[in-house]
Amino acid sequence: MPPESKRTDVLIIGASASGLMCAIEAGKRGRKVIVLDHANKAGKKILMSGGGRCNFTNMDVTAENFISHNPHFCKSALSRYTQWNFISMVNEFNIAYHERDLGKLFCDDSAKDILDMLLTECKKVNVKIHLKCEINVIESIGSDYRIKTMNSSFQSTSLVIACGGLSIPKMCASPLGYKIAEQFDHHIWPTSAGLVPLTLQKHDKEKLEVLSGISVESNVSSERIEFNKENILFTHRGLSGPAILQVSSYWRSGEAINVNLLPDIDAELLLKNRQSKQPNTKLKNILSEVLPKRLIPVLFEEALIEQPLQELSQVRINDIANQLHQWEVRPNGTEGYRTAEVTLGGVDCDELSSKTMESKKAKGLYFIGEIVDVTGWLGGYNFQWAWSSGWCAGQVV
């Protein structure tokens, strides 16, 4: 070992959600832990998460809320360290939080409360965090791992890769974790941007641009999944909002998505009813009772929406209802890693222990958090995976 080399029990690359959780648990077991990160600050993604309020978990977490080539893999970790375990930790720190729709838990004040809690716990168990640390070389020497950085070198028997996915390079995301996995002969499922806004073909973009800023509660489906009663948001670049982000993780190039713009109303029944009660009322006036006004001329031709209800045939009413309940859009892509919340794909679960996250290829090497081919839905699931997988590795490293 070069003289400046630091010996420790556990080296963790990545000082964010999964890495800090693992560090705390290993530290509690009396292990000497060093966390390395190239960022100038720990937990940048925690700070920017949930619009600055960190949706740190969900009241209802099941394996169905995750996407993976091995849908069973996440079950063990999620059941060993559950949302209730994390909520207890948050309660111990008296962090105020609230529940939003679909069981999402957010801090009342700031995501910084969650990061401060993790850093306080790290400090209690003497975890050392080295920031602005560029990692140049990783090598295995006998049963040890050695990491060389610009100015230093570190050696340990356990090496934990917690350096996340590719989303938001501006927040220090990098492909290092995948490179390390490849170095140790791991299979990586192809990666792509998940929980990401969808972009539109030129003609749709031009047509829908005027709706920028409007959001509509909808049911949105693609070929593999349906998300009910979440908002879609029209933006000047395309479609966003929770319902679109959810579907984006399942969407594949060339496919259409289907939007039910009136999930709680039977449009045919509404129009038939009003036709008999208010035959002289124009279609646009009825529709503007249930949809944002600006949306109506984008969905239907001017001549149609100006018609009084009495002039609409049954066939016409059916067409209008279909358009409202099954509005089809064919995106031309996603906004990519620049704005994606997560990375789909990653280190193949079949080559990791679901109990400990240890590599089946290299003893003492662990992969946790987003780098693993486990991607959560929107709603606090990605952090729960980071806490659960980090906790599991922390019990054994």
Residue-level length of the chain: 397
Joined tokens for residue 46: 């925690």
Neighbours of 223 (CB within 10 A): 11
54 binds ligand FAD per the rule CB under 6 A: yes
Residues 28-47 that bind ligand FAD (CB under 6 A): 36-39, 44-45
Binding of ligand FAD at residue 129 (CB under 6 A)?
no
Binding status of residue 220 toward ligand FAD by CB under 6 A: no
Q: Does residue 168 bind ligand FAD (CB under 6 A)?
A: yes
Question: Which lies closer to ligand FAD via its Cβ, residue 364 or residue 379?
Answer: 379
Is residue 161 within the footprint of ligand FAD (CB under 6 A)? no
- For residues 203 and 200, what is the distance between their CA atoms, to the nearest angstrom? 8
User: Does 174 help bind ligand FAD (rule: CB under 6 A)?
Assistant: yes
Q: Which stretch binds ligand FAD (CB under 6 A): 17-25, 272-280, 294-302, 348-356?
A: 17-25
Alpha carbon dihedral 387, 145, 73, 86, in 10-degree steps, equals -10
List Cβ neighbours of 28 (8 Å cut-off, separation of 6 or more).
Answer: 125, 394
With beta carbons less than 8 A apart as the criterion, state whether 198 and 349 touch: no
13 contacts ligand FAD (rule: CB under 6 A): yes
Answer yes or no whether residue 19 interacts with ligand FAD by CB under 6 A.
yes
Query: Closer to ligand FAD at the Cβ: 173 or 232?
Result: 173
Report CA dihedral (366, 385, 175, 134) to the nearest 10 degrees: -70
Answer yes or no: are the C-beta atoms of 24 and 114 closer than 8 Å.
no
Q: How many residues sit in the footprint of ligand FAD (CB under 6 A)?
A: 37
Please tell me whether residue 49 binds ligand FAD under the rule CB under 6 A.
yes
Query: By Cβ distance, which residue is nearest to ligand FAD?
Result: 369
Would the CA dihedral through 356, 117, 157, 141 be positive or negative? positive
Q: Does residue 65 interact with ligand FAD by CB under 6 A? A: no
Closer by beta carbon to ligand FAD, 55 or else 218: 55
- Of 64-72, 158-166, 219-227, 249-257, which segment contacts ligand FAD by CB under 6 A? 158-166
Q: What is the CA angle 266-272-278, rounded to 5?
A: 120
Q: Which two tokens stand for residue 298?
A: 């984008």
The strand pairing partners of 221, in sequence order, are 226, 258
Q: Which two tokens stand for residue 136?
A: 């140049």
User: Looking at beta carbons only, is 100 or 229 nearer to ligand FAD?
Assistant: 100
The stretch among 11-19, 197-205, 239-247, 330-338 that binds ligand FAD (CB under 6 A) is: 11-19
Please state the closest distance from residue 255 (CB atom) to ligand FAD, in A: 24
Min separation Cβ 85 and ligand FAD, Å: 15
> Which strands form 97-99's sheet, in the order they lie side by side?
55-58, 104-107, 97-99
The CB-of-296 to ligand FAD minimum distance in angstroms stands at: 33
Contacts of 347 (CB under 8 A, 6+ apart): 177, 178, 181, 186, 187, 188, 367, 371, 372, 373
- Check residue 296 and report its DSSP letter: H
Of residues 39 and 291, the one with the C-beta less far from ligand FAD = 39
Which residue ranges make up the site for ligand FAD (CB under 6 A)? 13-19, 36-39, 44-45, 48-50, 54-55, 135, 162-164, 167-168, 172-174, 176, 341-342, 369-370, 380-383, 386
